[in-house]
Amino acid sequence: MQSFEDLELPSELIEALSAEGFEEPTEFQRMAIPVLRRGNNLLGAAGPGAGTLLAYGTAILERVEPQGGRPSALVLVPTAQSATGLAESLARIATSTGHTVGALDGAWLLPERCDVLFATPDSVKAAVDGSGLTLEGVQSLVVDGASAIETISGLDAVSALFEYVEAGGQRIVLSQPLTDSTKAMVTQHVSKAVRMPPAPAIEGTATKPPERGELRFRITGEDKVEALVSLVAELLDDDARHVLLFCRSEDRAADVGDFLTLHGFMAGPPGDEEAPVWLAVDALPAREALNQFADPPVVATVSLDCPADMDTMDRRHGVGGQATVLLLPREVPHFRDTARRTGYRVRPLPPPESIVEDRIGELRDRLEKAATREDLAPLYLILEPLLERFSPQELAAAALSMIVTTPTGGSAPPSTIARAEKATGTDGWTRLFVSIGEMEGVKASDLLGALAGESDVDGSSFGKIEVRDTYSLVEVRPSEAEKVIKTVNGSSIRGRSARVDYDRGSGTKPGHHRAPRTHRGREERK
- pLDDT class of 272 with cuts at 50, 70, 90: very high
* C-alpha closest to that of 189 among 39, 43, 37: 43
Q: Which residue has the higher pLDDT, 199 or 118?
A: 118
CB of 462 closer than 8 Å to CB of 416: no
Q: Which of 125-129, 356-360, 365-369, 497-501 comes out lowest in average pLDDT?
A: 356-360
pLDDT of residue 382: 73
**For a pLDDT cut of 90, what percent of the chain falls above it?**
40
Q: In the predicted model, is pLDDT for residue 459 greater than 70?
A: yes
The CA distance from 496 to 499, in Å, is: 10
CA-nearest of 79, 159, 72, 170 to 117 is 72
- pLDDT on residue 166: 84
The backbone torsions φ and ψ at residue 199, rounded to the nearest 5 degrees and listed phi first, read -55, -45
Per-residue burial over 407-441, b if 16 or more Cβ lie within 10 Å, else e, is: eeeeeeeeeebeeebebbbeeebbbbbbbbbeebe
Interhelix angle for 27-37 vs 52-63, to 10°?
Answer: 20
Q: Is the pLDDT of residue 496 over 70?
A: yes
CA dihedral (21, 24, 27, 30) positive or negative = positive
pLDDT of residue 420: 29
Domains of the chain: 5-202 (3.40.50.300), 215-349 (3.40.50.300), 418-502 (3.30.70.330)
State the pLDDT at residue 305: 92
Query: H helices within 116-249, ranges in order?
Result: 121-130, 146-152, 156-161, 180-189, 199-202, 224-237
The pLDDT value given to residue 106: 77
Q: What is the mean pLDDT of residues 158-168?
A: 89
Average pLDDT across the chain, whole number: 82
> Strand 462-467 to strand 472-476: parallel, antiparallel, or no bridges (unpaired)?
antiparallel
pTM above 0.95, yes or no: no
426 has a pLDDT exceeding 50: no
User: Is 235 in contact with 224 (CB distance < 8 Å)?
Assistant: no
Q: For strand 170-174 and strand 140-144, is the pairing parallel, antiparallel, or unpaired? A: parallel
DSSP for 339-391? HHHHTEEEEE-PPTT-GGGGS-HHHHHHHHHHHT-TT-GGGHHHHTTGGGTS-
